[in-house]
Amino acid sequence: MTHLSVNINKLATLRNARGGNNPDVVRTAVDIERFGAQGITVHPRPDERHIRYSDVRALRPVLTTEFNIEGYPAPSFIDLVLEVRPHQVTLVPDDPNVLTSNAGWDTLRHKELLTDIVGRLKGAGIRTSLFMGTDLDLLGHAADTGTDRVELYTEPYAAGYHADREAAIAPFVGAAERVRELGLGLNAGHDLDLHNLNYFHRNIPGLLEVSIGHALICDALTYGLENTVQLYLRELR
């Protein structure tokens, strides 16, 4: 079964909009685990506009499922994850000012940097994943860094799904097959939702984990958080 990791950044965005601690990000993350999710994802950024570094430290001792921390490998981020030691770190090539993740790594250009960072994380016993597009050559260079997994950036699939879902998924099927040939684990995330998730899951071989935040939290406004987590899990069965 493909695991569901819920990205809780949007909960922190809502909290920060008003100040105080409502919603309580830590308590809600524990609820999401209780509702059946197999993991929690956070993506702290340098300006702490949603998840704060203090949230990451508060979450680590109370979570009982997989804890996945995404982010650009700036020194402050690396210091944080080496301190907290989550189960998985997903390295993302985000500019600090970008609104949301919008591209995968150029693993040829950044191979030296990534190899060094991956080595440090794996030396600390942390599983690593690289946020990647579907370019087959770059996936090969990702394997050269020593990473354990890659996370496919699925926004292009989501954008093309309603017009032609077979064409939209084709590059991802090829990428998944290449990842399997390379002996890497496969994750996926970005703009997956209740409409496009099941088709993606059924057609992508070896999919270990999906990370879903924005769509799931939006759906929770209509269906309720517990029911929404169950709806997403149903799409992965």
Mean per-residue pLDDT of the chain: 96
Q: Is residue 141 among the annotated active site residues?
A: no
The reported pLDDT for the residue numbered 99 is 53
Q: Is residue 43 among the annotated active site residues?
A: yes
Spell out the residues 6+ positions from residue 47 whose beta carbon is closer than 8 angstroms to its own.
96
**What residue ranges of the chain have pLDDT lower than 50?**
none
CATH architecture, domain defined by 3-235: Alpha-Beta Barrel (3.20)
The single residue of 3, 33, 50, 70 carrying the catalytic annotation is 70
How far apart are alpha carbons 86 and 151 in whole angstroms? 17
Q: Give 197-207 pLDDT, tens digit per residue.
A: 999 999 999 99
Tokens 């709806």 appear where?
Answer: 231
Q: What angle do CA 171, 173, 174 make, to 5 degrees?
A: 65
The reported pLDDT for the residue numbered 97 is 62
Do residues 88 and 108 make contact, with C-beta atoms less than 8 angstroms apart? no
Q: Give 37-92 pLDDT, tens digit per residue.
A: 999 999 999 899 999 999 999 999 999 999 999 999 999 999 999 999 999 999 99
Domain boundary assignment for the chain: 3-235
Segment (H or E) for 67: strand 66-71
The reported pLDDT for the residue numbered 42 is 98
The reported pLDDT for the residue numbered 98 is 58
Q: What angle do CA 40, 41, 46 make, to 5 degrees?
A: 140
The reported pLDDT for the residue numbered 101 is 60
The single residue of 3, 50, 141, 190 carrying the catalytic annotation is 190
With DSSP H G I counted as helix, E B as strand and the rest as coil, what are the percentages for the chain, rounded to 5? 45, 15, 35
Does the global pTM surpass 0.85? Answer: yes
Q: What is the dihedral of CA 64, 66, 72, 75, to 10 degrees?
A: 50
Q: Is residue 226 among the annotated active site residues?
A: no
The single residue of 43, 141, 151, 235 carrying the catalytic annotation is 43
The reported pLDDT for the residue numbered 94 is 81
